Amino acid sequence: MKRLQALRPEFFTRDPRHVARDLLGKILVRRQGHQTLTARIVETEAYLGKGDPAAHSASGRTPRNAVLFGPPGCAYVYFIYGNHYCLNVSCLPDGEAGGVLFRALEPVTGIARMTQNRGLQPHRSKTGLSPADLRRLANGPGKLTQALAITRAHNGLNLTDSTQVLYLADDGSPKPRAKTTPRIGISKATSLRLRYLIADNPFVSKP
DNA sequence: TTATAGATTGCCT
DNA sequence: GGCAATCTATAAT
C-alpha cells in the first residue's frame, strides 16, 4: 500500500469547526498487530472549548478531559453509557480546550478484521460483504472505535505521528462536498450546526 | 459516600 | 419509535 502522509500538528492548531470540516475525506489509520486498517472520515462533530455547554471541557479541566486542554492532534478517548468508547482529536494550542468527535467512517482496508472486531458474522459471498453489512461496520461513534479496536489505552496518543498504532493521514483525494446539521445525542446547545458530513455518502450515521 | 446523567447501540413492539 | 443495558466521572451530600 502507498505510504500515507500523516497530518501535521498545525492542521489541528485551529478552530475545531475548521478542523472538523477539513477532516472529512481524510484517513484514519490503525495498526493492529501486523495488519493495517484504514477508513475514510465521513462524519465529524466540533466541540468548542469556550461557550459550548455540550462540550466535555465546558466546566473546566478534569482528569478525564485533560487531553482536550493539551497539545493539538492528540486522541481523546472516553467511555460512555457503560458500553462504548468515543474517539476525538484535540484542537487549538496547548492550554486551550477544543476537539473534534469522529462519528462515522467508510471502511477502506482491513475490512475482514473490522468485521471481526465488531463481532459481526462475516456474511461472505462472491461479492464480499453486502453493502448493508459494510455500512454498519463504522457508521456511528461507538461502532467505529469497536471496528478499529480503540479503547482508553489510546487516550492521549499523538495522532500526527505515523509511527504510532493510530494516526490521521491524507491520501491526496479531493476535498469532498460537506453538509452541516445540529449535533447528535446531546441535550445542550442543540441548535448549533456543528455536525459535518460528506454529502450523499452512505456511510454516515444518519442523513 | 451516594446519586445521576451521559457526544450510544441494538433489540423490541 | 421506545427503551434497557451497563460503567464511571463528576457533582452533590
pLDDT at A178: 98
Check residue A128 and give its pLDDT.
75
Do the domain assignments include residue A23?
A: yes
Tracing cell 482529536 back to the chain, one arrives at: A89
Distance CA A66, CA A7 (A): 22
**Residue whose Cα is closest to the C1' of C9:** A64
Protein-proximal positions, strand C, CB < 7 A = 5-11
What is the pLDDT at residue A63?
A: 97
Residue type, A188: K
| A186 found inside a domain | no
**Distance separating alpha carbons of residues A164 and A185, to the nearest angstrom:** 31
Query: DSSP string spanning A76-141?
Result: EEEEETTTEEEEEEE-SSTTS-EEEEEEEEEEEE-HHHHHHHHT------TT-S-HHHHHTTTSSH
| Burial (0-12, 13-18, 19+ Cβ within 10 Å), A24 | buried
Residues whose CB is below 7 A of strand B? A 45, 47, 54-57, 68, 76, 80-84, 86, 88, 99, 101, 118, 136, 140-144, 183-188, 205
- A200 domain-assigned: no
**Domain assignment present for A197:** no
Tell me what pLDDT residue A125 has. 62
pLDDT of residue A121: 77
Q: Considering the entire predicted model, what is its pTM?
A: 0.96
Q: Is residue A179 part of a domain?
A: no
Range of the domain at A83: 5-173
Residues 54-73 of A with CB under 7 A from strand C: 56, 59-60, 62-65
User: What is the nearest nucleotide to A142, using C1' and CA?
Assistant: B8
CATH of residue A78's domain is 3.10.300.10
Query: Would you say residue A159 lies in a domain?
Result: yes
How many separate domains does chain A show? 1
Q: Compute how many other C-beta atoms are within 10 angstroms of the C-beta atom of residue A171.
A: 15
**pLDDT lower than 50: segments of chain A:** none
A151 touches strand C (CB under 7 A): no
Q: Which amino acid is at A61?
A: R
pLDDT value, residue A2: 61
Q: Is residue A129 part of a domain?
A: yes
- At A121-156, the pLDDT tens digits run 766 665 678 999 999 999 999 999 999 999 999 999
- CA–C1' A37–B7 (A): 24
* A9 inside domain: yes
For C10, nearest residue by CA–C1' is A62
Residue A15's Cβ-count burial label (10 Å; 0-12, 13-18, 19+) is middle
Residue with cell 467511555: A79
